[in-house]
Structure 1
Amino acid sequence: MIADLPAADLPRFDLHMHSTASDGALSPQELVELASENGVKLLALTDHDTLSGLDEAAATARQCGIRFVPGVELTCRWNTRVIHLLGLGIDPAHEGWKGYIENLEGLRQARAEKIAKRLVAKKLPEDLLARAQALAGSGQIGRPHFARALIEAGIVSTESEAFDRYLGQGKPGDVKAEWPDMHEAIEQVKASGGFALLAHPTKYNLTFSRLRILVKELGNAGADGFEVAYPGVSQEQIRLLMRMADQHDMYVSAGSDFHTPANRWTHLGRFPQVDTPRQLARVLV
């Protein structure tokens, strides 16, 4: 899977970012405008388990002269492990999305209620769910909203502290949900005309031996590739990921995974640069 566009002709791009439609801090319009200010000319909005911000982002991108790629980041399962699948270049109007997204919304809401119940049982504020839902607004509710609610309630000082004490792995707010199997997520993305790629593969606490198995199974299930450049990935990890991409003849992608301007370690359009003909952005431009 090699694109023909020369690297010199590739505009500045970012194919992974989040708005208030899920757990981002900026509205889709504000997000695209900030991306434009940062020189991004090709972008994908990839909110968690929702397509609700795509119309607003697309309209703003047209006004800013930016090439817009409709996207989504789907929560799914590989065996018992939760992973995230990026859908890039999808058709949001594809009829299969309605039922699929409604199911995810129901799973997220049920999980939020369980998180709140567990945290209240630990003597945290009884209105925690209401606070988190207010912060989520009309977007998909997730653990970052509970983290912000805990800050608002004066329980913790930062989101990192909220995850360390209450919401991270093995903590009271670490509630599992029966997310769709990765095969279902890949099938849905592909049926809507999109490219299916594993998001931030080094962030699942997997050894590279296990990651190789996951990538092989993703390829067998019809996935197109995986992210190779994003905040926090090392040059050695990039080298190993690129070796896997070559081995399985897959596309690679790159993005900032931007959520909020408050996170100083990431910014729109900022991630390690990887010059490769496997870069999916060359196809999407």
Structure 2
Amino acid sequence: MHSTASDGALSPTELVERAANASIHYLALTDHDTLAGLQEAAVAAAARDIHFIPGIELTCLWGRRSLHLLGLGIDPAYPGWQAYEARLVELREARAAKIATRLVGKRAPADILERARLQAGAGQIGRPHFARALLQAGVVSSENEAFDRYLGQGKVGDVKAEWPSIEEAMGIVQASGGKAILAHPTKYKLTFSRLRLLLADLQQKGIDGFEVAYPGISPDQIGLLMRVANTLDLLVSSGSDFHDPKHHWTGLGRFPRVETPRHIIHRIHAGA
């Protein structure tokens, strides 16, 4: 799940409160490229008797392709995180400036960067904040339109950054005691043959597993991914990828059910 520490709509405390009201017992906060919301979420979860899983969703590169790596069960106090997180802040700030420059050239107001910063608040700035800024400025009629016309893959606001390699991302996650899990593997616009090659390569690099159940994935895709997990002997995970109560395609704690001893929740439940 995501909070206002990155591109979510709810503060960590609000997120935990909603989770408790929805009878959720295990909650992982995995904000994009930041640990800023973990302490607040951990305190709120302890008060509501929720098993809190500190996490992060790291942007990284496999060759020239941008991927998202989940770190689940990390230790936020691990000394290496401070420098790694500072590096990501610099990359996101430089990327935001490039996005703003491109958007200004496509009808966006000259102060679109400042508007996006206001949307981000104290959190990491990202494309969803630009989408809200474009909506507020009247350039688009919805956040979906902002992505369809300006911010989605291949659009003018789809600015690439020199993110850390996936080897670096896996290294910091595992060094801090966490499990390195590839997020939403079917969302990278890869053929399934290419996706199998990606997962096999990541297994050779030492990844712990990958997500198999999340909003938008089909039962057939889950079946194919489970076969790959069995072949490669990798863990699997599930997640709602929750960002905002207004997003109808994902609900708090809602995702396809997958029953397998490979599921990481069994390790978490056993304290392994």
Q: TM-score, normalised by structure 1?
A: 0.93
Matches of 2:149 and 2:220, distance apart in 1: 31
- Count of equivalent residues: 269
User: Are 1:93 and 2:108 matched, yes or no?
Assistant: no
Partner of 2:177: 193
Partner of 2:88: 104
User: Are 1:135 and 2:119 matched, yes or no?
Assistant: yes
Partner of 2:67: 83
Matches of 2:50 and 2:209, distance apart in 1: 24
Matches of 1:142 and 1:133, distance apart in 2: 9
**Amino acid aligned to 2:22:** N
Matches of 1:245 and 1:43, distance apart in 2: 23
Deviation at 1:122, TM superposition (A): 2.1
Matches of 1:200 and 1:165, distance apart in 2: 23
Equivalent pair of 2:55/2:74 in contact (CA under 8 Å): yes
Structure with greater contact order relative to length (CA < 8 Å, sep ≥ 6): 1
User: Are 1:42 and 2:42 matched, yes or no?
Assistant: no
Deviation at 1:123, TM superposition (A): 3.0
Q: TM-score, normalised by structure 2?
A: 0.98
**Amino acid aligned to 1:180:** P
Partner of 2:235: 251
Runs of 4+ in 1 over 3 A off after TM superposition: none
Equivalent of residue 256 in structure 2, options 242, 265, 272: 272
Q: How does 1:113-132 map to 2 (within 5 A)?
A: 113-132=97-116
Return 5+ residue gaps in structure 2 as ranges. none
SS of structure 1 residue aligned to 2:197: helix
Residues 218-237 of structure 1, C-alpha deviations (whole Å, 9 max, x = no match):
11111100001100000000
What is the root-mean-square deviation of aligned Cα atoms in Å?
A: 0.7
Deviation at 1:36, TM superposition (A): 1.0
Equivalent of residue 136 in structure 2, options 129, 152, 158: 152
Residues 151-188 of structure 1, C-alpha deviations (whole Å, 9 max, x = no match):
11111111110011111122211111001110000011
User: Are 1:60 and 2:72 matched, yes or no?
Assistant: no
**Amino acid aligned to 1:78:** W
Return 5+ residue gaps in structure 1 as ranges. 1-16
Partner of 1:231: 215
Query: Could you tell me the percent identity over the aligned residues?
Result: 64
Higher mean C-alpha deviation, range 264-273 or range 140-149: 264-273
Residues 202-245 of structure 1, C-alpha deviations (whole Å, 9 max, x = no match):
00001111111111111111110000110000000000000011
Partner of 2:160: 176
Matches of 2:157 and 2:207, distance apart in 1: 31
Residues 117-157 of structure 1, C-alpha deviations (whole Å, 9 max, x = no match):
11112231011000000110110000000000001111111
Partner of 2:266: 282
